[in-house]
Structure formats: C-alpha cells, structure tokens
Structure 1
Amino acid sequence: MTPFEALYGRRCRSPIGWLEVGERKLLGLELVQDATEKIHMIRQQMLSAQSRQKSYVDNRWRDLEFQVGDHVFSKVSPIKGVMRLGKKGKLSPRYIRAFEILERVGAVAYHLALSPDLLNIHPVFHVSMLRKYSLDPSHVIQYETFQLKDDLTYEKQPVAILDRQVKSSI
C-alpha cells in the first residue's frame, strides 16, 4: 500500500490515470498527441502575453547614448536604501554634479572625469547611472570640498546658524 493510499483510502490518480473506471483511457500515441497540442496552445498564449508586455515597454523605451565631451549627472545610489557618497534618505538628491565623459568603454559604459575628492570611486559608470546634462555657460556649479572616508561617508559641517531659540519651562 502506498502512503497516499494509506492516508486517503484511495489510490493516487496520476495524470495518466485521471479518468474514472470504465471511461475510455488515452493510450500511447493519442496521449502524446493530446499533450503536444496542449503544450502548443500554452506556448502560443505565452507568446501573445510576452508580445503584449513588450509593446507596453517599447512605447517608453529609448536608448541612451552619449558622446565624448558630453556632460552627464551621476546617480548617487544604484539601489534605494544603499548609501553612496554619504547621501541616503527620502530627500537626498538622486543625481550629483555634472561630469564630463572622457571615453566610451564598451557598449553601455562610460569613463567620467571625476573631481579630485572622488578619487576613491571607480570612474567607469553604466549608462543607467547617468542622466544627460545640457551644458549652460551661465550655470555656475559650486563644488564643496569634503573628505571621504574609506567607506565612502563624510561628516556634515554646519555652514551657518540661521536661528536660535531659548525655551524655558515656567
């Protein structure tokens, strides 16, 4: 007696024996043809679902490609919640600074001219980490110099105290 039969009091009906006693059973070639037809139908439905989803994606898809000498913004963090460059949280910027592209490395990677304070970061970035920046000569970018630690964090220094309050409990 099989464990299934001992537990449930009846024999286990495998896909070959799903039919009740007395019904016509598919044997040999008919069973294979039936299974092949069902597999073919499932594949057609999966292909139609894939093509439908692909058409939704293709409406918004655009290939990003930059030229040497273009300026791009670099993404702060590749994954939400991971701290890079000491910036993490809800209000942290998504992209930092505009960097110039020095060369194209492969099909989807670019070598950037990083500032001296970011020398411990690898200068090659994937295209998904970059956003195009239209260089405007009137746009002046002020760089703040800060010392990065080995774990890519830094300490914040207050620039100025804007307001002061004294609270007393009377």
Structure 2
Amino acid sequence: MYADPRRQPVIFTVGEQVYLKVSPWKRVIRFGKKGNLAPRYIGPFRIQQVLNDQTVVLDLPAELAGIHNTINVSYLRKCKVDDVSQILPLQDLKVDMNKKLVEEPVRIVVKKITKLRHKQIPMATL
C-alpha cells in the first residue's frame, strides 16, 4: 500500500563494478571527513559470480581478507565507470567481519580544558 509502485529491483551482472558499503560509526572521522560527509562506500570491486538475485561473489583484494566475498546486494551500489574521483585507496583500510571500518586516530587535533565548579578536566578532540 505504501511501497513505491515505480521501484525497480537492482540487477547485477558478472564483470560489473560495484562499491561496497561500510557501516558508519558515530564520532568516527573517516578519510579526513567527519559526520555525514564521510564516504560510506569503498571500492570499486568486480563481480565474479551472481548466485541469485540477492547475493553476489566479489573479487576482493588482499587488504580486505577479513570480509567474506559472498555479499548481499543491499551492501552494494553500482559503480559508474567514468567516476574515477570516487575511488578510495585501500592501503590503510581495516574492515572487520561485520563490514565495519576500523580507523585509528593519527593525532589529537584540539585540546581543551572543561572547567567545572571546583575542578578542571582536560579533553582531547580528534
């Protein structure tokens, strides 16, 4: 009743390139950008095999060895071949088994002191 009647299912084919979704974490600075501006997809990756209309097998590089290569299509987005600016380098990426991007802070950017009534608390912001 409330579904969009013009919605079309996304169909993937073998050899097509797709982006892989990484789950966002709160207060994580990803690729130098904070909050909603941080990219949520990495890639592009080539599809090796289409198992059914909901699962595909991706050709993942060695940097993403912690992720199983059989992935649901809800974690994928089609890649435009001409869109080279969206490709992110994979050298320093760490992704765990739940497709969460693990990033470690490089340095502390802002140090400030919060003053309460009787004490001062040093706080660091990334």
CA pair 144-81 structure 1, distance change in 2 beyond 3 A: closer
Which residue of the partner structure matches residue 103 of structure 2?
Answer: 154
Structure 1 unaligned regions, length at least 5: 1-52, 159-170
Bigger mean CA offset, 92-101 vs 63-72: 92-101
CA pair 145-157 structure 1, distance change in 2 beyond 3 A: farther
Total equivalences in the alignment:
100
What is the root-mean-square deviation of aligned Cα atoms in Å?
3.4
> Which structure has more helix as a fraction of its residues?
1
TM-score by structure 2 length?
A: 0.61
Which residue of the partner structure matches residue 76 of structure 1?
Answer: 22
Pick aligned residue for 2:67 from 102, 111, 121: 121
2:41 is the alignment partner of 1:92? no
Answer 1 or 2: higher relative contact order, Cα 8 Å, separation at least 6: 2
Query: CA separation in 2, counterparts of 1:147 and 1:60?
Result: 37
Cα distance, 1:97 vs structure 2: 1.7
Identity over the aligned pairs, expressed in percent? Answer: 35
Pick aligned residue for 2:55 from 95, 109, 126: 109
Query: CA separation in 2, counterparts of 1:59 and 1:105?
Result: 26
SS of the residue corresponding to residue 5 of structure 2 reads helix
Residue by residue over 1:127-149, the C-alpha shift from the partner in whole angstroms, topping out at 9 and shown as x without a partner, is 1111111212x826452412638
CA pair 146-104 structure 1, distance change in 2 beyond 3 A: same
Question: Which entry has the higher C-alpha Rg, 1 or 2?
Answer: 1
Structure 2 unaligned regions, length at least 5: 108-126
Which residue of the partner structure matches residue 139 of structure 1?
Answer: 84
> Which structure has more strand as a fraction of its residues?
2
Query: CA separation in 2, counterparts of 1:93 and 1:142?
Result: 9
